Amino acid sequence: MISSQQNQILIVDDSLTNATLLLAILKSAGFDVVIANDAETAFKKVEEISPSLILLDVMLPEMDGFEICSRLKKSESTHDIPVIFMTSLSRTEDKVRGLNLGAVDYITKPLQKEEVIARVNVHVKLRNLNKQLETQSKELKSTLEQLQESQLQLIQNEKMSTLGQLVAGVAHEINNPVGAISANSVYAATYVRELVQHLQLHQQKATEAEIQNHAEEIELDFLTEDLLNIINTMYESATRIKDISESFRVFCRNDTYEKVPFDIHEGIDSTLMILKYKLKANDKLPKIEVIKDYCNIPEINCYPGPLNQVFMNLLVNAIDALRDSCQHNTNKCQNPKITIKTSLNSKKTHVLISIKDNGMGIREEILEKIFGYAFTTKAVGKGTGLGLAIARQIVIEKHGGSLDVKSKYGEGAEFIIQLPL
pLDDT for the residue numbered 159: 57
Q: Examine residue 82 and state whether it is found in any structural domain, yes or no.
A: yes
pLDDT for the residue numbered 3: 41
The residue among 79, 111, 143 that closes a domain is 111
CA end-to-end span of the chain, whole Å? 65
The residue among 81, 111, 141 that closes a domain is 111
Domain carrying residue 26: 4-111
The residue among 51, 76, 111 that closes a domain is 111
CATH number, residue 348: 3.30.565.10
**What DSSP line would sit under 350-416, residue for residue?**
EEEEEEEE-SS---HHHHTTTTSTT---SPTTS--S-HHHHHHHIIIIITS-EEEEEE-TTS-EEEE
Number of structural domains, the chain?
Answer: 2
pLDDT for the residue numbered 54: 95
> Pick from 302, 283, 309, 279: which is nearest to 292 by CA?
279
pLDDT for the residue numbered 157: 58
Q: Examine residue 181 and state whether it is found in any structural domain, yes or no.
A: no
Q: Examine residue 48 and state whether it is found in any structural domain, yes or no.
A: yes
Q: Examine residue 376 and state whether it is found in any structural domain, yes or no.
A: yes
Q: Examine residue 184 and state whether it is found in any structural domain, yes or no.
A: no
Taking a C-beta distance cutoff of 8 angstroms, is the pair 111, 21 a contact? yes
The strand pairing partners of 316, in sequence order, are: none
- pLDDT by residue for the chain (421 residues), tens only, comes to 344 446 899 999 999 999 999 999 999 999 999 999 999 999 999 999 999 999 999 989 889 999 999 999 999 889 999 999 998 877 788 888 888 999 999 988 888 999 999 999 999 999 888 888 888 888 887 877 776 666 556 555 555 566 666 666 666 667 777 888 888 888 888 888 888 888 888 888 888 888 899 888 888 889 888 889 888 888 888 887 777 776 666 666 655 568 889 999 999 998 888 788 888 887 777 889 999 999 999 999 998 888 888 898 899 889 988 888 887 766 667 788 999 999 999 999 999 999 999 988 888 888 877 887 655 655 544 544 457 888 888 899 889 999 999 998 888 899 999 999 8
CATH number, residue 26: 3.40.50.2300
Long-range Cβ contact pairs of 108-113 (< 8 A, separation 24 or more): 109/18, 111/18, 111/21, 111/22, 111/25, 111/86, 113/25, 113/28
Question: Which residue type, as a one-letter code, is found at position 27?
Answer: K
Q: What angle, 0 to 180 degrees and rounded to 10, lies between the N-to-C axes of helices 208-217 and 113-203?
A: 140
Q: Cα(36)–Cα(56) distance, rounded to whole angstroms?
A: 10
Q: Examine residue 187 and state whether it is found in any structural domain, yes or no.
A: no
Torsion angle of alpha carbons 247, 378, 383, 283, nearest 10°?
Answer: -50
Q: Examine residue 295 and state whether it is found in any structural domain, yes or no.
A: yes
Q: Examine residue 183 and state whether it is found in any structural domain, yes or no.
A: no
pLDDT for the residue numbered 263: 93
Q: What is the pTM of this model?
A: 0.52
How does DSSP classify residue 242?
H
